[in-house]
Amino acid sequence: MGRAWVCIALLAAGLGLPVLAEPVSDPGPPYTDEQFLAISKQRISNEQFVEMLPDWWGRAPKYLKDRIKSIPSERWWAVIVCNIQGYSKLEDGGYAPRAIKCEDEFMASQKRGAKSWSADGKWVGPSEACIKRDKRSQWGELVCD
C-alpha cells in the first residue's frame, strides 16, 4: 500500500511548482546523501513527497541513489518520477535507456508547462499561434516548442 500511495501522491502533483525553502548552495554532482536531502527541498515539486523524503531516501535502492547523486539536481524529480512509475536498472546493473528517455520527456514537459506562466506566477497559457498550430505530444498535451 505504501508504494501505491507514493505513486498517487506523485501523479497528483503533476507539474507543480518547486517547494519554496531557504536557498541551499548547490555545488553540482557528485552529491552526498546530506546534500541531496537539503537541496531536494528546492528541487522537488511535490511538497508531500518532500516531507516523506528522508524515509523514502533510506529505502531507495543503491542504483537509484547513485543515479540521483551523479546528475544535476534539476533532473532529480524526473528521475524519481520515472523510477516510481516502473523504470529501473537493467539486469547487468546499468541504468535503463527507457528511464533516461522518460526523464528527458518529463523535463521537456515541465519546460513546456513553465512557458504558460508569467514571471509573477499568473497563468498566461499558450500563444494563439501555438493553439492554431495544434501540435500535440503522444499524450495529447499541446506542444509549443
Kindly provide the b/e burial profile for residues 128-139, where b requires at least 16 CB atoms within 10 angstroms of the residue's own CB.
eebeeeeeeeee
First to last CA, the chain: 39
Strand (E) or helix (H) holding 62: helix 62-69
Tell the residue number behind the cell numbers 535507456, with chain if given: 97
Length of the chain: 145
Q: What is the pLDDT along the chain (145 residues), one digit of tens a residue?
A: 445 444 444 444 444 444 344 578 889 999 999 999 999 888 877 788 888 889 989 988 888 899 899 999 999 988 888 887 555 666 666 667 778 888 888 888 887 777 777 777 787 777 888 888 888 877 777 777 6
Give the whole-angstrom CA distance, residue 14 versus residue 139. 14
